[in-house]
Amino acid sequence: MNEWNENEQKFPKPGPVAAIVVMLLELGISFYVLSAAQYYLGMWGMVITELAFVVISLGAAWVVGLNIKEMLPFKRIQVNEFFGTIVIWAGALLLVLIVNLIFFYFFPEGLEVNVNINAFINSWPVIPALFVVAVMPAVCEEMLHRGFIQRCFMKKIKSKMLICIIMGLLFGLFHMDFYRFIGTAILGGILSYILITTDNFFYNMLFHFVNNFF
């Protein structure tokens, strides 16, 4: 289970090419399939979407032979890192709020998107809705982005800043929302920084969960 595939003759190695290919695959599936699932099935479509990200990330890891423990590194939780993650999230929230306010000043129609998102979430009772929009993305989306995609980039790119920039842009693109692109890109970059700094997958999941829960 640790080494899913080491046959370099038949499968590509984990690296930026694999990351980009999987990102394009995910965008294509999201645009043509998963968006339709959300449109017709509502929150159940969101459940299907999040589970699809798990399948994509684990399937991609199997194809390129990426070690699952390397892809999802978990270590003992440190108190200072735990609360440091919360502090970073609070600062990130303030920054994203300021950026979004400025953006919505020039593009006020973007506020309607937020209203539609809230109405979509409120179609379910609070507890199951929170599980779908806070818990599942913190696990499923992180497995795909900070797990497979970022780990592939880290195989070849040594600059932490460059990885954070790339991952931030990809995370913004992943949400396919013009009005929230900058905000989600900032969050994506910070999430990547947390994983690079701590090498503990728990903290970027914690950050993602707290942000979506809020």
Q: Which two tokens stand for residue 136?
A: 């599942």
Q: Which two tokens stand for residue 74?
A: 């978990």
pTM of the predicted protein model: 0.89
Distance CA 91, CA 96 (A): 9
Q: How many CA atoms lie within 13 A of 53 on its CB side?
A: 24
Count, residues in the chain: 214
Q: What is the pLDDT of residues 42-77, one digit of tens each?
A: 899 999 999 999 999 999 999 999 999 999 999 999
Residues in contact with 125: Cβ distance below 8 Å, sequence separation at least 6, in sequence order: none
Q: What is the pLDDT of residues 136-162, one digit of tens each?
A: 999 999 999 999 999 999 999 999 999
Distance CA 69, CA 46 (A): 27
